[in-house]
Chain A
Amino acid sequence: DAMVIQNPRYQVTQFGKPVTLSCSQTLNHNVMYWYQQKSSQAPKLLFHYYDKDFNNEADTPDNFQSRRPNTSFCFLDIRSPGLGDAAMYLCATSREAGGEQYFGPGTRLTVT
């Protein structure tokens, strides 16, 4: 009965080697979010989509991009990962802006 699914759960990539993280949802929610979380810090919003409308946080590095090809799926692309990009990446959804956010289990990214 998983509602927000993230794959893979663990990802190891080399410095500078592009990587894509995926998120899918069975809730049919309009809004999808990508957060970056480093150890014991608050989740940091990278992007969110309200339906197909893309919203980029001002301080999200250009190295990060996102795609939402349909309601159910959302992808996070890191074009040239650096050591500082090692983190937990959390996907979340909500039915509407200002609604309860449901988080996926996260993908832990390691950069070697």
Chain B
Amino acid sequence: GENVEQHPSTLSVQEGDSAVIKCTYSDSASNYFPWYKQELGKRPQLIIDIRSNVGEKKDQRIAVTLNKTAKHFSLHITETQPEDSAVYFCAAFEVGGAQKLVFGQGTRLTINP
């Protein structure tokens, strides 16, 4: 089955700087890669996603890149703000078998003012 590794587990950046979180996946058949942001005590919320037929997608300060050959994808947040502080989860959709999202372990991002 699919396996997703996420790094780093914690990340601290100065306000205004950029943050990058990286994930690798194992199943080359996986075709959908969402990123979720979860604030303390709240539900995971989708912030951006990408499908396997696209290499990059951008939404204002957030971008995701996908390298299918290397089987890795990354979240880029530019001009970070204190409200970006949260736990971020990447995921890959396992196409075969159970057809489910497999999540990475999460990254706790802290933006220092």
Contacts and interface: CB of A to CB of B under 8 A. Distances in A.
Interface residues of B, number: 22
B108 A40 contact: yes
A41 B44 CA distance: 12
A5 to B, nearest CB: 12
Contacts, number: 48
Interface of B is mostly: strand
Given A42-B89, A101-B101, 7 more contacts: A45-B100, A50-B99, A90-B44, A99-B32, A101-B34, A103-B44, A103-B45
List the 7 closest pairs (A to B, CB-CB), nearest first: A42-B103, A103-B43, A97-B99, A98-B93, A98-B32, A103-B44, A105-B43
Given A98-B95, A100-B34, A42 B43 contact: no
B99 A98 contact: yes
A43 interface: yes
A43 B31 CA distance: 20
